Amino acid sequence: MNNPYSKEKDFMDELELFLIDMGFKTWREVNPDKSRFRIDLIFWNEEVGYIAVEGKNLKTLRQGGKIAKTINQVNKYRNLTFFEGIKINRWCITTPITLPHCISEDIIKMIKLEITIFIRTFLKTMYDIELLEFEKSESGFKSVKINNLGDNSIHISKYGINGGFKKNGDSISEI
C-alpha cells in the first residue's frame, strides 16, 4: 500500500481541518465522562448531531489486527457518555485506503472499491460501526462519506451535506 500519511495524527489532522472548513465543531482525543479512555475525534453540527471516529493508519492490508483492536475500542466507548451526559449513537472507523501505483489506475480503483465495500459491510453488519471514508483527489477535491450507499449515509463536500441525518436518540444540542 502506498499510504501518504506517516502517522495516524497526520491523517486525522487533515480530516479534522476538512470538517472544520465544512462548518462542523470538532473535538480531538476526547475522554468519555468519568473514564480514562480516549476517542480520536468527535464532530458535530445541527444536521447530523454527534459522530465519533476512531482512526487507524494502516500501512499494509495485513494489519487486520489493528482494525480488530479498534472495534474493541469502539465497543468500550459506545455505551459511555461524553461532555457530561451526551450519548453518541453514530460510531465510525476510518483509515486511508491506498494501493501501490505499480498497477493500472482502473485496477487500483476496482480493488479499492472491493476492499472498501468489504470493510464497510463487515463493520456495519457485525458491529453497527460505520466506515468513514475521507477521500481527496489529485485536484484537491475532498469529501467524507459515512456508511456510503447504506441507510442513513452521509456525504460531506464543498457542495454541502447530503443524506443520513441523525439516528434515533441522537443528541443534537451543541455543548
* pLDDT at residue number 42: 94
Q: Which three cell numbers stand for residue 40?
A: 480520536
Residue 169 pLDDT exceeds 50: no
27: confidence class by pLDDT, cuts 50, 70, 90: very high
Q: Over the stretch 104-157, which tens digit does the pLDDT of each residue have?
A: 778 877 887 888 888 888 999 999 999 999 988 878 889 999 988 788 899 999
168: confidence class by pLDDT, cuts 50, 70, 90: very low
Mean pLDDT across the stretch 12-34?
90
* pLDDT at residue number 100: 62
| Residue 166 CB burial class (10 angstroms; 0-12, 13-18, ≥19) | middle
Pick the more confident residue, 172 or 118. 118
Pick the more confident residue, 29 or 6. 29
Residue positions counted in the chain? 175
Mean pLDDT across the stretch 21-31?
90
* pLDDT at residue number 133: 92
All domains of the chain, ordered by start, with CATH?
8-162 (3.40.1350.10)
Q: Over the stretch 32-80, which tens digit does the pLDDT of each residue have?
A: 777 766 889 999 998 899 999 999 887 666 777 888 898 998 998 888 8
- Residue 89 to residue 77: CA distance in whole angstroms: 11
Do 146 and 153 meet the contact criterion of CB atoms below 8 Å apart?
yes
